[in-house]
Structure 1
Amino acid sequence: MADEIETMSFEQAIAELEKVVNQLDRGDVPLEESIRLYERGAALKARCETKLKEAEEKVEQITLDADGRPVGTRPADP
């Protein structure tokens, strides 16, 4: 399961997380299944956070010209 989540795109992970939350919100899931869903949801949330951080880091590397247009990227800070 974790391997599957680690290869998901942000969009895939957020869609799956929404499904998990909806299942838990319904309240008709047995306890053991609720625990499994909660654990999956936590892993999906972590994946989404990772993908967002990666995107933020890429955006921070974009360089702009004097008119504010993107002209390239700079190396990431160590």
Structure 2
Amino acid sequence: MTFEKSIRRLDEIMAALEGEQVGLDASLKLFEEGIELLRAASTELDKAETKVQMLLEKSDGGFELREMDL
């Protein structure tokens, strides 16, 4: 599942849990699914963070690629 789909599904889960229309068993299953999605999304963000780089122009007109601290 993509990061964006995970976030959309997390929104759906939150709405369902906040709506008070879900029983205890279903709430627990949704909560577990939400935790799994959150972990997967967090992993994707960690991967993206390591890839973020900043391209800086040097004084000689060239460019230098540097890792960006977030």
Class of the TM-score when normalised by the shorter of the 2 chains: 0.7 to 0.9
Distance in 1 (CA, whole Å) between partners of 2:33 and 2:4 is 16
Distance in 2 (CA, whole Å) between partners of 1:19 and 1:10 is 14
Match of 1:23 in 2: 16
TM-score under structure 1 length normalisation = 0.69
Q: CA RMSD in A?
A: 2.2
Q: Percent identity?
A: 31
SS in 2 for 1:29: coil
Aligned length: 64
Distance in 1 (CA, whole Å) between partners of 2:19 and 2:64 is 49
| Higher Rg | 2
Distance in 1 (CA, whole Å) between partners of 2:56 and 2:51 is 13
- Greater relative contact order: 1 or 2 (C-alpha under 8 angstroms, separation 6 or more)? 1
User: Unpaired runs of 5+ in structure 1?
Assistant: 1-7
Distance in 2 (CA, whole Å) between partners of 1:36 and 1:56 is 30
Contact 2:10-2:34 at 8 Å conserved across structures: yes
Match of 2:56 in 1: 64
| Structure with the higher fraction of residues in strand conformation | 2
Matches within 5 A, 1:1-78: 8-60=1-53, 62-66=54-58
